[in-house]
A and B are shown apart, each in its own frame.
Chain A
Amino acid sequence: MIDLKTILEKKRNRIIIRVAGVIIGFLGSAFIIFQVLFLYRVLPHGGL
Protein backbone atom coordinates (compact mmCIF):
# COMPACT_ATOMS: atom_id res chain seq x y z
CA MET A 1 0.00 0.00 0.00
CA ILE A 2 1.36 3.40 -0.95
CA ASP A 3 1.68 5.77 1.90
CA LEU A 4 0.27 9.24 1.15
CA LYS A 5 2.99 10.82 3.27
CA THR A 6 5.70 9.22 1.15
CA ILE A 7 4.02 10.35 -2.08
CA LEU A 8 3.83 13.94 -0.86
CA GLU A 9 7.39 13.81 0.36
CA LYS A 10 8.60 12.54 -3.02
CA LYS A 11 6.61 15.20 -4.81
CA ARG A 12 8.03 17.89 -2.56
CA ASN A 13 11.59 16.65 -3.12
CA ARG A 14 11.04 16.70 -6.88
CA ILE A 15 9.83 20.31 -6.70
CA ILE A 16 12.79 21.29 -4.52
CA ILE A 17 15.22 19.67 -6.96
CA ARG A 18 13.60 21.43 -9.92
CA VAL A 19 13.61 24.83 -8.22
CA ALA A 20 17.22 24.29 -7.13
CA GLY A 21 18.11 23.33 -10.70
CA VAL A 22 16.55 26.49 -12.09
CA ILE A 23 18.28 28.66 -9.47
CA ILE A 24 21.69 26.99 -9.99
CA GLY A 25 21.32 27.19 -13.77
CA PHE A 26 20.22 30.80 -13.57
CA LEU A 27 23.05 31.92 -11.28
CA GLY A 28 25.65 29.76 -13.03
CA SER A 29 24.74 30.98 -16.49
CA ALA A 30 24.56 34.63 -15.37
CA PHE A 31 27.97 34.28 -13.69
CA ILE A 32 29.57 32.57 -16.70
CA ILE A 33 28.19 35.13 -19.17
CA PHE A 34 29.40 37.98 -16.97
CA GLN A 35 32.85 36.41 -16.51
CA VAL A 36 33.33 35.65 -20.22
CA LEU A 37 32.39 39.21 -21.28
CA PHE A 38 34.42 40.79 -18.47
CA LEU A 39 37.54 38.73 -19.23
CA TYR A 40 37.11 39.45 -22.95
CA ARG A 41 37.45 43.14 -22.07
CA VAL A 42 40.15 42.84 -19.40
CA LEU A 43 42.56 40.20 -20.77
CA PRO A 44 43.81 42.26 -23.76
CA HIS A 45 45.12 44.83 -21.28
CA GLY A 46 47.75 42.78 -19.49
CA GLY A 47 45.87 39.62 -18.58
CA LEU A 48 46.94 38.18 -15.23
Chain B
Amino acid sequence: MIPSLIGGGLVGIYPGYKVYEYVWKDAAFCTSCHVHDYATVGWENSSHQRLTTCHDCHHQPLHEYVREMVVLLTKNPKFPKDLDHIPYIPDDLCQACHISNHQDLSTVTGPLDKEDIDKLHKVDKTKMHQLHFQHKTKLKLLGEFKIKKIDRMGDVAIIPSNEEGKERPITCSDCHGGPSNRAHNFSATDSACVRCHQDEHKKKIGKEFGCRNCHFQDFMIPTSKNPTK
Protein backbone atom coordinates (compact mmCIF):
# COMPACT_ATOMS: atom_id res chain seq x y z
CA MET B 1 0.00 0.00 0.00
CA ILE B 2 2.73 2.50 1.01
CA PRO B 3 4.72 2.24 -2.26
CA SER B 4 1.45 2.71 -4.16
CA LEU B 5 0.63 5.80 -2.08
CA ILE B 6 4.10 7.24 -2.72
CA GLY B 7 3.90 6.45 -6.43
CA GLY B 8 0.44 7.99 -6.73
CA GLY B 9 1.56 10.95 -4.63
CA LEU B 10 4.51 11.69 -6.89
CA VAL B 11 2.35 11.51 -10.00
CA GLY B 12 -0.24 13.78 -8.32
CA ILE B 13 2.18 16.69 -7.81
CA TYR B 14 1.99 17.77 -11.44
CA PRO B 15 -1.82 17.85 -11.82
CA GLY B 16 -2.03 19.56 -8.40
CA TYR B 17 0.23 22.32 -9.69
CA LYS B 18 -1.71 22.57 -12.95
CA VAL B 19 -5.01 22.95 -11.04
CA TYR B 20 -3.43 25.74 -8.94
CA GLU B 21 -2.11 27.38 -12.08
CA TYR B 22 -5.57 27.26 -13.68
CA VAL B 23 -7.36 28.55 -10.57
CA TRP B 24 -4.87 31.31 -9.74
CA LYS B 25 -3.34 32.36 -13.01
CA ASP B 26 -5.95 31.80 -15.70
CA ALA B 27 -8.72 34.35 -16.18
CA ALA B 28 -10.83 31.64 -17.83
CA PHE B 29 -11.37 30.06 -14.39
CA CYS B 30 -12.75 33.32 -12.93
CA THR B 31 -14.89 34.23 -15.92
CA SER B 32 -16.55 30.82 -15.89
CA CYS B 33 -18.60 31.99 -12.86
CA HIS B 34 -18.21 35.77 -12.78
CA VAL B 35 -20.46 36.69 -15.65
CA HIS B 36 -19.84 40.42 -15.73
CA ASP B 37 -19.55 41.04 -19.43
CA TYR B 38 -18.87 44.76 -19.24
CA ALA B 39 -15.98 44.24 -16.82
CA THR B 40 -14.50 41.31 -18.74
CA VAL B 41 -14.71 43.25 -22.00
CA GLY B 42 -13.19 46.27 -20.24
CA TRP B 43 -10.24 44.15 -19.10
CA GLU B 44 -9.86 42.45 -22.51
CA ASN B 45 -9.69 45.83 -24.24
CA SER B 46 -7.31 47.39 -21.74
CA SER B 47 -3.53 47.45 -21.69
CA HIS B 48 -3.69 45.09 -18.69
CA GLN B 49 -5.18 42.26 -20.71
CA ARG B 50 -2.00 40.50 -21.85
CA LEU B 51 0.03 41.56 -18.84
CA THR B 52 -2.15 40.65 -15.89
CA THR B 53 -4.65 38.09 -14.71
CA CYS B 54 -7.54 38.59 -12.29
CA HIS B 55 -5.61 37.63 -9.15
CA ASP B 56 -2.90 40.22 -9.75
CA CYS B 57 -5.36 42.77 -8.39
CA HIS B 58 -8.30 40.86 -6.92
CA HIS B 59 -7.29 39.59 -3.49
CA GLN B 60 -9.41 38.76 -0.50
CA PRO B 61 -9.14 36.92 2.83
CA LEU B 62 -9.86 33.19 2.84
CA HIS B 63 -13.30 33.51 4.49
CA GLU B 64 -14.44 35.70 1.60
CA TYR B 65 -14.08 32.75 -0.79
CA VAL B 66 -16.57 30.83 1.36
CA ARG B 67 -18.95 33.82 1.53
CA GLU B 68 -18.68 34.21 -2.25
CA MET B 69 -19.81 30.63 -2.79
CA VAL B 70 -22.83 31.19 -0.51
CA VAL B 71 -23.73 34.44 -2.28
CA LEU B 72 -23.33 32.80 -5.67
CA LEU B 73 -25.88 30.15 -4.70
CA THR B 74 -28.32 32.26 -2.68
CA LYS B 75 -28.25 35.77 -4.13
CA ASN B 76 -26.22 35.79 -7.31
CA PRO B 77 -25.56 39.47 -8.10
CA LYS B 78 -26.16 40.73 -11.62
CA PHE B 79 -23.77 43.46 -12.65
CA PRO B 80 -23.76 46.36 -13.17
CA LYS B 81 -27.25 46.87 -11.70
CA ASP B 82 -26.26 45.28 -8.37
CA LEU B 83 -23.08 47.30 -8.06
CA ASP B 84 -24.03 49.77 -5.32
CA HIS B 85 -20.75 51.70 -5.12
CA ILE B 86 -18.12 53.05 -7.46
CA PRO B 87 -15.21 50.57 -7.56
CA TYR B 88 -12.32 51.71 -5.40
CA ILE B 89 -8.84 50.25 -5.90
CA PRO B 90 -6.35 50.61 -3.02
CA ASP B 91 -3.07 52.25 -3.99
CA ASP B 92 -0.86 49.30 -3.11
CA LEU B 93 -2.32 47.24 -5.95
CA CYS B 94 -1.29 49.84 -8.53
CA GLN B 95 2.01 50.51 -6.78
CA ALA B 96 3.12 46.87 -7.03
CA CYS B 97 3.88 47.51 -10.72
CA HIS B 98 3.74 51.26 -11.21
CA ILE B 99 6.15 52.75 -8.69
CA SER B 100 9.89 52.19 -8.58
CA ASN B 101 11.44 49.89 -5.98
CA HIS B 102 8.15 48.67 -4.59
CA GLN B 103 8.94 46.09 -1.95
CA ASP B 104 5.83 43.94 -2.06
CA LEU B 105 5.52 42.05 -5.34
CA SER B 106 3.85 39.06 -3.68
CA THR B 107 0.53 40.03 -5.21
CA VAL B 108 1.78 39.85 -8.77
CA THR B 109 1.28 36.37 -10.22
CA GLY B 110 0.51 37.20 -13.83
CA PRO B 111 2.66 36.61 -16.89
CA LEU B 112 5.05 39.50 -16.14
CA ASP B 113 8.47 38.65 -14.71
CA LYS B 114 10.13 40.96 -12.19
CA GLU B 115 12.49 42.28 -14.89
CA ASP B 116 9.47 43.15 -17.05
CA ILE B 117 7.80 44.93 -14.13
CA ASP B 118 10.98 46.95 -13.61
CA LYS B 119 10.73 48.15 -17.22
CA LEU B 120 7.20 49.53 -16.78
CA HIS B 121 6.59 53.26 -16.65
CA LYS B 122 7.11 54.34 -12.99
CA VAL B 123 4.76 57.11 -12.00
CA ASP B 124 6.81 58.36 -9.03
CA LYS B 125 9.48 59.37 -11.55
CA THR B 126 7.20 61.61 -13.60
CA LYS B 127 6.63 65.29 -13.06
CA MET B 128 2.86 65.60 -12.71
CA HIS B 129 2.29 62.31 -10.92
CA GLN B 130 4.92 63.31 -8.38
CA LEU B 131 3.21 66.68 -7.93
CA HIS B 132 -0.12 65.00 -7.25
CA PHE B 133 1.44 62.55 -4.78
CA GLN B 134 2.75 65.50 -2.77
CA HIS B 135 -0.68 67.10 -2.41
CA LYS B 136 -3.74 66.26 -0.36
CA THR B 137 -7.43 66.50 -1.13
CA LYS B 138 -10.65 66.72 0.83
CA LEU B 139 -12.68 64.89 -1.81
CA LYS B 140 -14.47 61.77 -0.65
CA LEU B 141 -12.87 58.46 -1.66
CA LEU B 142 -14.52 56.78 -4.63
CA GLY B 143 -15.49 53.78 -2.53
CA GLU B 144 -17.61 56.05 -0.30
CA PHE B 145 -20.01 56.99 -3.09
CA LYS B 146 -23.16 54.92 -3.00
CA ILE B 147 -25.04 54.57 -6.27
CA LYS B 148 -28.82 54.87 -5.92
CA LYS B 149 -30.79 51.88 -7.18
CA ILE B 150 -32.60 53.95 -9.78
CA ASP B 151 -29.29 55.17 -11.23
CA ARG B 152 -27.92 51.64 -11.47
CA MET B 153 -30.63 50.61 -13.92
CA GLY B 154 -29.67 53.10 -16.62
CA ASP B 155 -26.79 53.10 -19.05
CA VAL B 156 -25.56 56.47 -17.88
CA ALA B 157 -22.30 56.41 -15.95
CA ILE B 158 -22.35 57.79 -12.42
CA ILE B 159 -19.66 60.45 -12.20
CA PRO B 160 -18.41 61.05 -8.65
CA SER B 161 -19.23 64.51 -7.35
CA ASN B 162 -16.78 66.86 -5.63
CA GLU B 163 -18.37 66.29 -2.23
CA GLU B 164 -15.83 66.82 0.54
CA GLY B 165 -14.83 64.80 3.62
CA LYS B 166 -11.62 64.47 5.62
CA GLU B 167 -8.30 65.62 4.18
CA ARG B 168 -6.29 62.71 2.76
CA PRO B 169 -3.50 62.02 0.25
CA ILE B 170 -4.52 61.81 -3.41
CA THR B 171 -4.90 58.18 -4.46
CA CYS B 172 -4.46 56.52 -7.86
CA SER B 173 -8.22 55.86 -8.03
CA ASP B 174 -9.04 59.56 -7.73
CA CYS B 175 -7.82 60.09 -11.29
CA HIS B 176 -7.75 56.57 -12.76
CA GLY B 177 -11.04 55.32 -11.31
CA GLY B 178 -14.15 57.29 -11.87
CA PRO B 179 -17.34 56.85 -13.78
CA SER B 180 -19.14 53.81 -12.45
CA ASN B 181 -19.42 51.70 -15.60
CA ARG B 182 -15.80 51.86 -16.73
CA ALA B 183 -14.69 48.70 -15.01
CA HIS B 184 -11.07 47.79 -15.77
CA ASN B 185 -10.54 50.90 -17.88
CA PHE B 186 -8.06 52.92 -15.86
CA SER B 187 -7.23 55.72 -18.26
CA ALA B 188 -7.70 59.09 -16.56
CA THR B 189 -10.74 61.08 -17.62
CA ASP B 190 -11.31 64.82 -17.76
CA SER B 191 -14.16 64.38 -15.29
CA ALA B 192 -11.56 63.22 -12.72
CA CYS B 193 -9.48 66.40 -13.25
CA VAL B 194 -12.53 68.61 -12.91
CA ARG B 195 -13.36 67.22 -9.47
CA CYS B 196 -10.43 69.26 -8.11
CA HIS B 197 -9.70 71.72 -10.91
CA GLN B 198 -13.22 72.96 -11.62
CA ASP B 199 -12.12 76.61 -11.64
CA GLU B 200 -9.43 76.22 -14.33
CA HIS B 201 -9.92 77.15 -18.00
CA LYS B 202 -13.60 77.85 -17.73
CA LYS B 203 -13.59 79.55 -21.11
CA LYS B 204 -13.55 78.15 -24.63
CA ILE B 205 -10.19 76.40 -24.45
CA GLY B 206 -11.25 74.16 -21.56
CA LYS B 207 -14.60 73.28 -23.07
CA GLU B 208 -13.22 72.68 -26.54
CA PHE B 209 -10.00 70.81 -25.84
CA GLY B 210 -10.55 69.27 -22.41
CA CYS B 211 -7.72 68.71 -19.93
CA ARG B 212 -5.67 65.88 -21.31
CA ASN B 213 -5.04 67.29 -24.78
CA CYS B 214 -2.57 69.73 -23.22
CA HIS B 215 -1.64 68.15 -19.87
CA PHE B 216 -1.32 64.46 -20.73
CA GLN B 217 2.37 64.61 -21.64
CA ASP B 218 3.24 66.21 -18.29
CA PHE B 219 2.19 62.96 -16.63
CA MET B 220 4.62 60.98 -18.77
CA ILE B 221 7.73 63.18 -18.77
CA PRO B 222 10.36 61.80 -16.38
CA THR B 223 11.37 64.26 -13.64
CA SER B 224 15.05 63.93 -14.60
CA LYS B 225 14.26 65.24 -18.10
CA ASN B 226 12.18 68.15 -16.84
CA PRO B 227 13.96 71.35 -17.90
CA THR B 228 12.18 73.44 -15.25
CA LYS B 229 13.47 71.30 -12.39
Residues of chain B lying within 8 A (CB to CB) of residue A28: 5, 8-9, 12
Give the interface size bracket for A toward B: 20 to 34
The CB with the most chain B CB atoms within 10 A, among A17, A20, A24, A30, is that of A30
B38 proximal to A (CB < 8 A): no
* Interface size range on B against A: 20 to 34
Residue pair B60, A26 in contact (C-beta under 8 Å): no
Q: Contact: B16 with A29, CB < 8 Å?
A: yes
Chain A 19-48 near chain B by CB (<8 Å), digits 1 or 0: 111111111111111100111011111111
Contact B4 A30 (CB under 8 A): no
Cβ of B10 within 8 Å of any chain A Cβ, yes or no, is yes
The residue from B8, B17, B61, B64 contacting A33, defined by CB atoms under 8 A apart: B17
Of the candidates B7, B61, B63, B107, which one forms a contact with A25 in the assembled complex, judged by CB atoms under 8 Å apart?
A: B7
Interface of A is mostly: helix
- Give A42 to B7 CA distance when docked, in angstroms: 29
Quick check: B15 and A48 within 8 Å, CB to CB? Answer: no
The complex places the Cα of A23 from the Cα of B2 at a distance, in Å, of 12
With a cutoff of 8 Å between Cβ atoms, the chain A residues found around residue B103 in the complex are none
Complex interface: chain B residues within 8 A of A37 (CB): 16-17, 20, 24
| Of listed B2, B19, B55, B65, residue having the most chain A CB within 10 A | B19
The smallest C-beta distance from A21 to any residue of chain B, in angstroms, reads: 3
B13 partner, pick from A30, A38, A45, beta carbons under 8 A: A30
- B4 adjacent to A21 (CB under 8 Å): yes
Given contacts A18-B1, A26-B11, A48-B62, contact A33 B6 (CB under 8 A): no
A43 to B65, CA, bound (A): 12
> A24, A26, A44, A47 — which one has the most chain B CB atoms within 10 A of its CB?
A26
Query: Are B8 and A31 within 8 A (Cβ)?
Result: no
Residues on B close to A: CB < 8 A? 1-13, 15-17, 19-20, 23-24, 55, 59-65, 106-107, 109
Jot down 14 A-B pairs with beta carbons below 8 A, ordered by A.
Answer: A19-B4, A21-B1, A21-B4, A22-B7, A26-B8, A26-B15, A27-B8, A29-B10, A32-B16, A42-B59, A45-B59, A45-B60, A46-B61, A47-B61
